C-alpha cells in the first residue's frame, strides 16, 4: 500500500513525451510507479479530466529577502512552482560586511524594485558570509524547495568595500583572489550558481549602475576559476550583449567548464540582437559548451495604476495634492472632483517622464476587461483615442479609475517590438532555451510576471489567437526537465519512478489568471503587485499537499537545496 495514488489523469511527464492516461503512485515523498493498476493507497486522488505534470522549477526568481521572512513564497506557490531558484541578475544579500547592508538594499531596491524599507525591516541580517546565509535559509521550512545563488554585486562589494560600486575602480590581485576564494566557498557550501549583471538597465536606487556592469575579464575569470575549482554551479548572466560581450562571457564559460545561463529577450533599440545572441549560443553549444538562453513566456510588461510605482499623471501639477493621500482617499478625490480630472487630462506638463508616457501610449493598453497580454496595436490607448476623437490621456485616466480605482494599464516594453508574441514563440520553440525571466518576488511595484508558469500553459497551449500555439508537452518540459537540468537538479521535474513527488494536478480547461492586484502585505505594510491563478486542483511537494483548489494548505515540506 502506497501513500498516495493519483488516478486516471492525463500525464504530461516533463520529458516532452505525448500526454498519456496513467496513474502515479507516491511513497515517502517519491514517485514509485507510473502506469496502470498500481494497487492500493492510503489516499487516492481522482485525477480524471485533470492534467498531471511535474511541479514547475522556476529558475529566475528574486526571493533572496522574502525567503528570510515568508515560508510561502507568494506568488509562485499559487502557480505550480515547487522549486524556486533566486540570487539572479547579480544582486542579493550575501556576503555582506557588518554595517554594509544599506548598499545591497539600495541596489535591490533600484534594480529589482523591492522597497528598501521592506528589506531593511524584513531581513534580520544574521549572516556575513554566503555559507552563513545558506545556513540561515537551511534552518527554515518552505512551501517549496528553494535554491540560492551567489550574486556578483555582493561578492564584489565585500571584497572591494566602497570601491566595489565604483565603475572606475579595478580589483587588485588580492581582491581578485579573495573573490575567487569566497566564490569557491559559496559553491562548496551549496550555492547553485554565481550570477552577474552586465546591463545598464540595472541601477541602484541612488542612480549608480549595478557594480558588476563594468567587471573586466580578470574579474569574470576569477569567478569562472572558482566554478572550475568547485566543479559545480552555473554562471547566470543578465547582459545587454554589447559588442564583444558574448565573446567575453563565452571565454568565462570555457574557463569555468560549467553551464552558463543567459537571459534572452528582445529590446526595441536592437530588435534583432536576440537572434544574434541565440545564434552565438548555438555556436557555443556546437563547440561543446553548455549554454542556454532563459526566455520569457510573454512580453516584459510594466503595469501602471493609481497605486503602482509609476502612473502617467505623477508629474502633473494637479497630482501633487493626491500623491500623499492613502489609496482609497486618492481614488475618491479623483472620482468626485471633475475639475481635477479635466485638468489632469487637458493640461500637459513638459517634463521628460510625461513626454515618455505620451509616446508610450501607442503601446499601452487597458488591462480590463479581457486581461489580454498579447493585445493588437489597434487596441492601444493612442489608437483607440484616434478612433474615438479623444485623447489617450483621457482614456488612461478612465482606465485607471475603473474597478474603484484598481484599474491597470499594461505597457509591454520588451519582447514586443513587432506588436505580438511572434519572437516569444520563436524563442520558446528553440532547442537551446528554457523558461525564465519571471522575476517572481521582484519589480513588485510595476511588474507582475511571477505568474509566468501559468501563463505559459494557458496562453501558448490553449488561448493564443494571434499566431501559432505550442505543444503542451513542450511547454511543460520547458519549465520542468529543462529548467531543472540547467541547475543539475536531476532528482525532480519528471514524473518517473525514483523522482521526487513534486506534482501538479491542473484543470486545464479552467486554468486562468486573475487580474493583478496591488496589496500591502510586505513587512512594514509594503506594497506589491500579486496575481493569482485558478485551476490548480492540487500541488504536491515531496508528496505533501501544499495547495488544494488554489488555496495553500499551510504545509511546508520544502527545504533549501544545496548544489
Decide: helix, strand or coil at residue 263: strand
**Which residues make beta-bridge pairs with 61?**
440
Decide: helix, strand or coil at residue 504: strand
Toward Zn ion, which CB reaches closer, 263 or 546?
A: 263
Q: Which of 467, 463, 465, 499 is nearest to 480 (CA)?
A: 499
The grid coordinates of residue 558 equal: 520544502
Distance CA(5)–CA(460), nearest Å, equals: 30
Q: How far is the CB of 88 from Zn ion (least distance, A)?
A: 4
Toward Zn ion, which CB reaches closer, 14 or 211?
A: 211
Toward Zn ion, which CB reaches closer, 89 or 322?
A: 89
Distance CA(108)–CA(103), nearest Å, equals: 9
Toward Zn ion, which CB reaches closer, 59 or 392?
A: 59
For residue 26, give the DSSP letter: E
Write out the DSSP string of 305-328.
ETTSS--TTTTSGGGTTTTTS-HH
Q: How far is the CB of 302 from Zn ion (least distance, A)?
A: 14
Alpha helices in 43-115 (DSSP H): 101-112
Cβ atoms of 425 and 434 closer than 8 Å = no
The 3-state secondary structure of 532-552, one letter per residue? CEECEEEEEECCEEEEECCEE
Toward Zn ion, which CB reaches closer, 452 or 535?
A: 452
Q: How far is the CB of 111 from Zn ion (least distance, A)?
A: 8
- Which residue of this chain has its Cβ atom nearest to Zn ion in the complex? 89
Toward Zn ion, which CB reaches closer, 296 or 558?
A: 296
Q: Which of 191, 188, 296 is nearest to 236 (CA)?
A: 191
Distance CA(240)–CA(250), nearest Å, equals: 14
Q: How far is the CB of 439 from Zn ion (least distance, A)?
A: 5
Classify residue 148 by burial, with Cβ atoms within 10 Å: 0-12, 13-18, 19+: buried
Toward Zn ion, which CB reaches closer, 86 or 127?
A: 86
Q: How far is the CB of 91 from Zn ion (least distance, A)?
A: 8
Q: How far is the CB of 60 from Zn ion (least distance, A)?
A: 6
Q: Are strands 193-198 and 150-151 parallel, antiparallel or unpaired?
A: parallel
Q: How far is the CB of 238 from Zn ion (least distance, A)?
A: 6
Q: Which residues of the shown chain bind Zn ion in the complex (CB under 5 A)?
A: 88-89, 439
Q: How far is the CB of 263 from Zn ion (least distance, A)?
A: 7
Toward Zn ion, which CB reaches closer, 88 or 544?
A: 88
How many Cα atoms within 13 Å fall on the side-chain side of residue 555?
Answer: 18
Q: How far is the CB of 436 from Zn ion (least distance, A)?
A: 9
Q: How far is the CB of 89 from Zn ion (least distance, A)?
A: 4
What stretch of H or E contains 10? Answer: strand 2-11
User: How far apart are the two ends of the chain, measured CA to CA in Å?
Assistant: 33
Toward Zn ion, which CB reaches closer, 87 or 405?
A: 87
Write out the DSSP string of 360-403.
HGGG-EE-TTT--SS--GGGSHHHHHHHHTS-HHHHHHHHHHHH
Toward Zn ion, which CB reaches closer, 13 or 439?
A: 439
Cβ atoms of 505 and 45 closer than 8 Å = yes
Amino acid at each position: 500500500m502506497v501513500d498516495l495514488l493519483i488516478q486516471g489523469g492525463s500525464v504530461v511527464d516533463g520529458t516532452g513525451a505525448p500526454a498519456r492516461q496513467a496513474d502515479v503512485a507516491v511513497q515517502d515523498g517519491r514517485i514509485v510507479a507510473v502506469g496502470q493498476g498500481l494497487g492500493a493507497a492510503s489516499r487516492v486522488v481522482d485525477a480524471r479530466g485533470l492534467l498531471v505534470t511535474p511541479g514547475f522549477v522556476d529558475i529566475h526568481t528574486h526571493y533572496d529577502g522574502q525567503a528570510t521572512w515568508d515560508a510561502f513564497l507568494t506568488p509562485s506557490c499559487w502557480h505550480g512552482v515547487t522549486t524556486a531558484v533566486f540570487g539572479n541578475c547579480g544582486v542579493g544579500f550575501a556576503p555582506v560586511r557588518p554595517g554594509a547592508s544599506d548598499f545591497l538594499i539600495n541596489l535591490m531596491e533600484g534594480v529589482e524594485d523591492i522597497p528598501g524599507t521592506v528589506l531593511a525591516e524584513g531581513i534580520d541580517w544574521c549572516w556575513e558570509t554566503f555559507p552563513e546565509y545558506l545556513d540561515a535559509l537551511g534552518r527554515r521550512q518552505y512551501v517549496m524547495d528553494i535554491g540560492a545563488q551567489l550574486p556578483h554585486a555582493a561578492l564584489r562589494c565585500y571584497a572591494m568595500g566602497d570601491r566595489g560600486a565604483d565603475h572606475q575602480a579595478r580589483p587588485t590581485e588580492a581582491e581578485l583572489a579573495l573573490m575567487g576564494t569566497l566564490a569557491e566557498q559559496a559553491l562548496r557550501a551549496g550555492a547553485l550558481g554565481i550570477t552577474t549583471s552586465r546591463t545598464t538597465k540595472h541601477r541602484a536606487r541612488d542612480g549608480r549602475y549595478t557594480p558588476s556592469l563594468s567587471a573586466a575579464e580578470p574579474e569574470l575569470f576569477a569567478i569562472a576559476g572558482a566554478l572550475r575549482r568547485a566543479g559545480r554551479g552555473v554562471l547566470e548572466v543578465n547582459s545587454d550583449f554589447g559588442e564583444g560581450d558574448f565573446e567575453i562571457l563565452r571565454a568565462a564559460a570555457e574557463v569555468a567548464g560549467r553551464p552558463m545561463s543567459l537571459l534572452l529577450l528582445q529590446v526595441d533599440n536592437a530588435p534583432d540582437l536576440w537572434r544574434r545572441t541565440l545564434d552565438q549560443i548555438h555556436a557555443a553549444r556546437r563547440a561543446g559548451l553548455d549554454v542556454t538562453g532563459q526566455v520569457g513566456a510573454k512580453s516584459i510588461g510594466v503595469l501602471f495604476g493609481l497605486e503602482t510605482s509609476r502612473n502617467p499623471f505623477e508629474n502633473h501639477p494637479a497630482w501633487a495634492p493626491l500623491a500623499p493621500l492613502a489609496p482609497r482617499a486618492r481614488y475618491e478625490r479623483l472620482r468626485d472632483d471633475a475639475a481635477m480630472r479635466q485638468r489632469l487630462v487637458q493640461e500637459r506638463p513638459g517634463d521628460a517622464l510625461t513626454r515618455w508616457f505620451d509616446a508610450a501610449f501607442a503601446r499601452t493598453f487597458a488591462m480590463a476587461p479581457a486581461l489580454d497580454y498579447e493585445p493588437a496595436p489597434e487596441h492601444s490607448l493612442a489608437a483607440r483615442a484616434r478612433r474615438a476623437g479623444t485623447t489617450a490621456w483621457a482614456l488612461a485616466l478612465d482606465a485607471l479609475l475603473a474597478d474603484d480605482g484598481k484599474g491597470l494599464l499594461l505597457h509591454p516594453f520588451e519582447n514586443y517590438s513587432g506588436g505580438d508574441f511572434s519572437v516569444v514563440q520563436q524563442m520558446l520553440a528553440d532547442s537551446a532555451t528554457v523558461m525564465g525571466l519571471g522575476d517572481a518576488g521582484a519589480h513588485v511595484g510595476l511588474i507582475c510576471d511571477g505568474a509566468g508558469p501559468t501563463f505559459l500553459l494557458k496562453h501558448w497551449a490553449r488561448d493564443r489567437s494571434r499566431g501559432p500555439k505550442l505543444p503542451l508537452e513542450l511547454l511543460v518540459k520547458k519549465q520542468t526537465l529543462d529548467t531543472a537540468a540547467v541547475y543539475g537538479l536531476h532528482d525532480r521535474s519528471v514524473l518517473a519512478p525514483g523522482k521526487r513527488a513534486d506534482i501538479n494536478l491542473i484543470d486545464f480547461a479552467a486554468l486562468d489568471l486573475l487580474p493583478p492586484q496591488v496589496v500591502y502585505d510586505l513587512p512594514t505594510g509594503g506594497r506589491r503587485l500579486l496575481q493569482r491563478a485558478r485551476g490548480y486542483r492540487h500541488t504536491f511537494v515531496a508528496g505533501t499537499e501544499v495547495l488544494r483548489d488554489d488555496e495553500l494548505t499551510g504545509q511546508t515540506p520544502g527545504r533549501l537545496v544545496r548544489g
